[in-house]
């Protein structure tokens, strides 16, 4: 057994946590959650490698070696994982984090859920749903609006005209909703170029501030950041959606509403690309507001379509943000508490040969 004596905090951590010998990649210690998850005691775990207990793709298996070489924390998100004794079960999605410590490499697992990746927000199911519903709505809407326009000449009362105006305005509203739903069905962006994220953020701020002149914006940009890899139009729409939500959150509160737009380099975050290769996401765009925070009852489903706590909201803005992030090989994160909500959009940078 190892001489390593875990502290109470590590042993009580509710997710599996292993201590790994960086040379042999053997387990030297595991917390209680790891022992319960594997279903065996620490004495039986010591001397095994994590890959004896569960399988991940070849790139994710390099996380310990990469952490050892870089001597810095590394996170790989959305890794399909299968336990060795449960090969008949579906893959479980997990986030792996490796970090150096004085006694070895810590390896932590956090489970993102059992659903396959194509069923998550931004995947094929959501995309197909957006296209299908938008298509089914638009055809009858055109006929209904045409009929309402024909009736206009035959209606003489003020009440009748008012009802026709209501019908027409509702048709326009539903069509706009259908247009937004259809964007969830767009394919991954093919107009990929080098994007100046600071230029996009300044444009987005001007758009939102023109409608909300009372808002205070603070901009903190890292001028050393390289351009991002992506489609400027869809990224602009994603930023507008997040900033608009922030503006609505801070509007009407007693203290001055402030929105902070910030960029920074963030190391140690990567995600599996469509080709199952790890893609680093070093560019972080932060949008922070001092509003009341996200309601507890919707935090877990915040990026799902139709999830909202706004009386007039449709719950599609953040679902679109998630779709855009996924289409760019990136991630969107949120941390929220009363007085501070932070959305982070993480994006890759172009590599040689990515673009002409």
Q: 151-161 pLDDT, tens per residue?
A: 877 877 888 87
Give dist(CA 56, CA 49) in Å, integer.
Answer: 13
Query: CA-CA distances (angstroms) from residue 296 to 233, 260, 286, 293, 338?
Result: 32, 23, 21, 9, 11
Q: Which residue has the higher pLDDT, 272 or 295?
A: 295
pLDDT of residue 115: 39
Domain range summary for the chain, segments of one domain joined by +: 8-114, 119-183, 193-347
- What is the CATH number assigned to the segment(s) 8-114? 3.30.450.20
Can you tell me the mean pLDDT for 342-349? Answer: 92
pLDDT higher than threshold 60 for residue 298 = yes
Helices (H), ranges, 212-332: 232-250, 317-327
Return the pLDDT at 173. Answer: 67
**Which CA distances in Å does 356 have to 72, 284, 353?**
33, 25, 7
| CB 246 within 8 Å of CB 291 | yes
Among the listed residues 267, 194, 197, the one whose alpha carbon sits nearest the alpha carbon of residue 225: 197
46 or 115, higher pLDDT: 46
Kindly report the average pLDDT of the chain as a whole number. Answer: 79
Q: Which residue has the higher pLDDT, 209 or 268?
A: 209
Torsion, Cα 257 262 266 271, to 10 degrees, reads 80
Q: Give the CA distances from residue 89 to residues 23, 31, 40, 116, 165, in Å, rounded to whole numbers and listed in that order.
A: 31, 24, 19, 12, 56
Give, in degrees to the nearest 5, the angle at Cα 285 between 207 and 245: 45
Of residues 91 and 293, more confidence is placed in 293
Q: Could you tell me which residue, 6 or 107, shows the higher pLDDT?
A: 107
238-250 pLDDT, tens digit per residue, is 899 999 999 988 9
Residues 6+ apart with CB under 8 A from 33: 13, 14, 15, 16, 17
CB of 323 closer than 8 Å to CB of 283: no
Residues in contact with 91: Cβ distance below 8 Å, sequence separation at least 6, in sequence order: 80, 81, 82, 114, 116
For residue 312, CA distances in Å to 299, 323, 342 come to: 19, 22, 23
Cβ atoms of 55 and 84 within 8 Å: the answer is yes
The H or E element spanning position 148 is helix 124-152
Which band of pLDDT confidence, cut at 50, 70 and 90, is reported for residue 141? confident
Instruction: For residue 132, count other CB atoms closer than 10 A to its CB.
Output: 13
CATH class of this structure's domain 193-347: alpha beta
Q: How far apart, in whole angstroms, are the C-alpha atoms of residue 253 and residue 259?
A: 13
The half-sphere exposure of 122 on its side-chain side, counting CA atoms within 13 A, is 22
Rounded-to-integer distance, Cα 34 and Cα 45, Å:
10
Confidence band (pLDDT; 50, 70, 90) for 305? low
Confidence (pLDDT) at 2: 43
Going by pLDDT thresholds of 50, 70 and 90, the confidence category of residue 169 is confident
């Amino acid at each position: 057994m190892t001489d390593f004596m875990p502290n109470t905090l590590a042993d009580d951590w509710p997710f599996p946590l292993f201590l790994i010998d960086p040379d042999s990649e053997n387990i030297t210690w595991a917390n209680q959650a790891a022992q319960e998850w594997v279903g065996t005691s620490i004495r039986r775990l010591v001397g095994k490698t994590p890959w004896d207990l569960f399988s991940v793709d070849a790139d994710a298996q390099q996380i310990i070696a990469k952490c050892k070489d870089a001597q810095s924390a590394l996170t790989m998100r959305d890794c399909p994982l299968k336990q060795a004794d449960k090969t008949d079960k579906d893959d479980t999605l997990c986030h792996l984090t490796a970090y150096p410590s004085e006694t070895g490499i810590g390896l932590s697992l956090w489970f993102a859920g059992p659903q396959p990746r194509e069923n998550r927000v931004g995947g094929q199911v959501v995309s197909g749903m957006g296209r299908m519903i938008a298509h089914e709505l638009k055809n009858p809407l055109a006929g209904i609006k045409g009929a309402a326009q024909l009736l206009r000449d035959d209606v003489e009362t003020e009440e009748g005209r008012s009802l026709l105006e209501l019908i027409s305005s509702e048709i326009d509203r539903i069509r706009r909703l259908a247009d937004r739903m259809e964007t969830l069905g767009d394919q991954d962006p093919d107009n990929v170029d080098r994007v100046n994220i600071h230029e996009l953020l300044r444009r987005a701020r001007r758009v939102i501030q023109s409608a909300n002149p009372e808002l205070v914006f603070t901009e903190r940009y890292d001028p050393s950041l390289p351009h991002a890899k992506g489609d400027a139009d869809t990224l602009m729409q994603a930023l507008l959606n997040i900033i608009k939500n922030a503006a609505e959150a801070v509007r009407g509160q007693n203290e001055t509403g402030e929105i902070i737009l910030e960029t920074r380099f963030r190391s140690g975050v990567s995600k599996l690309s469509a080709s199952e290769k790890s893609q680093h996401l070093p560019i972080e765009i932060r949008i922070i507001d001092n509003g009341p925070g996200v309601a507890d009852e919707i935090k877990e489903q915040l990026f799902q379509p139709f999830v909202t706590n706004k009386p007039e909201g449709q719950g599609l803005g953040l679902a679109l943000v998630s779709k855009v992030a996924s289409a760019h090989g990136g991630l969107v994160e949120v941390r929220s508490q009363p007085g501070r909500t932070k959305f982070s959009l993480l994006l890759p940078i172009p590599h040689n040969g990515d673009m002409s």
